[in-house]
């Protein structure tokens, strides 16, 4: 990095995705239909202290458009929002127009958050509607005097704002602030207390009993229908403009509600009891407070070493497959024999809202730093070939394997070193993956890409970085012992981004190529490469590879 950085603590971040389905008719007796005529009596408390409809009404403070997932006409996070979240430290440099170029880890973090919004933007919509009502944000800044009058199509500024608030749920301390330990009665009582005192406001989270299908809404009133029945009135962005309620049976201490968790999924009745922890609240004060950058830092800055040592690493899978992660003590987290296990102290398998534990989903894994990790990419549950990406993000660096065409039943292996220095990929089939390693340094930032060509019998690719020497070592071997691959090096420094590319690097069995990236003179210039034939640690010859970019 060419910018100085303030000291930041790493904390886990949850890539939570809150989503919804197109509005469907609720089943009879689910207790979630229109309630306008029933609010004449029984109001215990409401947002802002007024009567329902006076301080908040879905037809005024809610959005008139329905929650949405991925769509080419909508934009999500850009470097502008990432910089707004964490400050200038996220920028490796600026382009010729002065726009922020994110660090490699920052770019990967942004991409993964944007992918998480494929399941919907409910969290962002629920939070922003509440912030508008609390006067912590102004709908006029986005084109209309009220939230309900705002249009989403063609309104990039509003799209970015919704994505911004969506992403806050994945950042510490907000990532740990959702209260998941309350009974349904306690949730209603806590919300009523907050409405009366004005000390805190919250969004609601609802989940299936197995922890799946999370969805976020905006509560605005507590109505006691009788001694045994309480309604939580809330704006559900699945149902624009409608007054809807979560029904609580105070005697049984249970709740139920009809909605959907994803634009692609049918609606369902959600429910829970005193022990299910499936009805949650998330405080606004934490969301709007100071958020801690989960990827900032430089690998060669001593002040960041303690942050990395005490922090964690996040591993994410974009695929219908599963992961099983084993550390260097033999303990595991992930799917083992079809069941989700966690044996690693301090590790967490975090269930993202709307994507949690569906057949086509995978938790986000947070693991303590300081251990080598062996990751099994398991296609046993696949019914057809699936494109799979595995990412690791931590302070100052990112690693990953992308574009794996995983076959049903296939099991590939990825090895991450205990630090930021090495990654390996082993497959028994003809995959042609991209291995990436990105680092931020006190000088330039670098991203390295290795695209290997596979054979039917499989291959192994190893890359390792020596930041002090300014070298990247690559070894690749296929079934017959030889391999070819393409190398791409991105360098972001005070003269902008430059890219070196060379295809057709041919390696014999156990050969290692050592790329002197720090000595590279820039676009159009060749890069010195040392060839270690047989991989015995001795450079046998030097080559100059041309820049084909």
Read off the pLDDT of each residue in 373-386 and give the average, rounded to a whole number: 95
| Residue 14 banded pLDDT, cuts 50, 70, 90 | very low
Q: Given this model, what pLDDT does residue 306 score?
A: 81
Band (291; pLDDT cuts 50, 70, 90): very high
Kindly tell me if the per-residue pLDDT of 350 is higher than 80: no
Where is pLDDT greater, at 141 or 483?
141
- β-partners of residue 203 are 282
User: What is the pLDDT at residue 208?
Assistant: 84
Q: Which of the given ranges, 199-203, 205-209, 361-365, has the highest pLDDT on average?
A: 199-203
**Mean predicted lDDT score pLDDT of the chain:** 87
* pLDDT given at position 6: 30
pLDDT for position 32: 57
Q: What is the pLDDT of residue 18?
A: 35
Mark 187-216 as b/e (b = at least 16 C-beta within 10 Å).
Answer: bbbbbbebbeeeeebbbbbbbbeebbbbbb
290-308: average pLDDT: 89
Say yes or no to pLDDT of 260 above 80. Answer: no
CA distance linking residue 232 with residue 45, whole number of Å:
10
Does the pLDDT at position 30 exceed 80?
no
Q: Say what the pLDDT of residue 468 is.
A: 94
Q: What is the pTM of this model?
A: 0.86
**What is the per-residue pLDDT across 34-54, written as a single tens digit (0 to 9) for each?**
444 345 568 999 998 765 546
* Listed residue (175, 156, 19) closest to 77, CA to CA: 156
Mean pLDDT calculated for residue range 454-482:
87
**What's the average model confidence in pLDDT over 465-487?**
90
**DSSP E strand stretches across 1-122:** 43-46, 91-94, 100-102
Q: Tell me which residue of 449, 350, 472 sits closest to 402, measured CA to CA.
A: 449
């Amino acid at each position: 990095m060419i910018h100085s950085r303030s000291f930041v603590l790493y904390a886990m971040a949850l890539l939570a995705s809150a989503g919804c389905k197109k509005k469907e008719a609720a089943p009879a007796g689910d207790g979630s239909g229109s309630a306008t005529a029933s609010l004449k009596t029984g109001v215990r408390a409401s947002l802002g202290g007024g009567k329902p409809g006076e301080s908040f009404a879905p037809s005024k403070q809610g959005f008139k458009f329905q929650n949405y997932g991925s769509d080419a006409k909508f934009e999500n996070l850009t470097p502008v929002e990432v910089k707004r979240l964490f400050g200038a430290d996220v920028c490796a440099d600026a382009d010729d127009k002065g726009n922020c170029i994110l660090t490699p880890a920052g770019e990967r973090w942004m991409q993964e958050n944007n992918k998480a919004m494929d399941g919907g933007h409910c969290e962002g919509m629920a939070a922003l509607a509440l912030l508008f009502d609390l006067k912590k944000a102004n709908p006029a800044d986005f084109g209309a005097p009220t939230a309900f009058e705002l249009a989403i199509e063609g309104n990039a500024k509003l799209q970015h704002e919704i994505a911004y608030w969506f992403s806050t749920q994945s950042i510490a301390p907000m990532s740990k602030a959702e209260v998941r330990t309350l009974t349904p009665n306690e949730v209603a009582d806590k919300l009523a207390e907050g409405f009366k005192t004005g000390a805190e406001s919250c969004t609601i989270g609802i989940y299936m009993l197995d922890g799946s299908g999370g969805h976020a809404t905006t509560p605005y009133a507590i109505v006691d229908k009788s001694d045994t029945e309480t309604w939580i009135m809330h704006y559900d962005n699945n149902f624009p403009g409608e007054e809807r309620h979560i029904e609580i049976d105070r005697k049984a201490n249970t709740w139920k509600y009809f909605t959907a968790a994803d634009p692609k999924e049918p609606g369902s009745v959600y429910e829970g009891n005193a022990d299910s922890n499936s009805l949650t609240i998330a405080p606004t004060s934490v969301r709007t407070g100071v958020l801690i950058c989960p990827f900032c830092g430089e690998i060669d800055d001593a002040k960041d070493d303690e942050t990395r040592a005490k922090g964690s690493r996040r591993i994410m899978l974009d695929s219908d497959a599963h992961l099983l992660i084993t550390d260097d003590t033999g303990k595991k987290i992930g799917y083992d024999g079809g069941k989700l296990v966690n044996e690693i102290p301090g590790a967490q398998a975090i269930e993202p809202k709307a994507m949690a534990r569906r057949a086509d989903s995978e938790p986000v894994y947070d693991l303590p730093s300081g251990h080598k990790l062996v990751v099994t990419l398991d296609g046993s549950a696949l019914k057809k070939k699936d494109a799979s990406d595995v990412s690791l993000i931590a302070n100052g660096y990112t690693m990953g394997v992308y574009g794996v065409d995983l076959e049903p039943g296939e099991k590939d292996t990825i090895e991450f070193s205990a630090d930021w220095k090495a990654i390996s990929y082993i497959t028994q089939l003809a995959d042609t993956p991209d291995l990436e390693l990105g680092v931020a340094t006190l000088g330039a930032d670098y991203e390295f890409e290795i695209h290997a060509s596979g054979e039917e019998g499989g291959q192994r690719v190893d890359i390792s970085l020596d930041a002090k020497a300014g070298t990247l070592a690559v070894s690749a071997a296929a079934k017959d012992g030889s391999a070819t691959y393409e190398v791409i090096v991105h360098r972001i420094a005070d003269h902008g981004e430059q890219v070196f590319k060379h295809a057709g690097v041919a390696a014999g069995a156990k050969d290692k190529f050592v790329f002197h990236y720090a000595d590279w003179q820039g676009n159009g210039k060749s890069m010195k490469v040392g060839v270690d034939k047989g991989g015995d640690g001795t450079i046998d010859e030097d080559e100059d590879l041309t820049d084909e970019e």
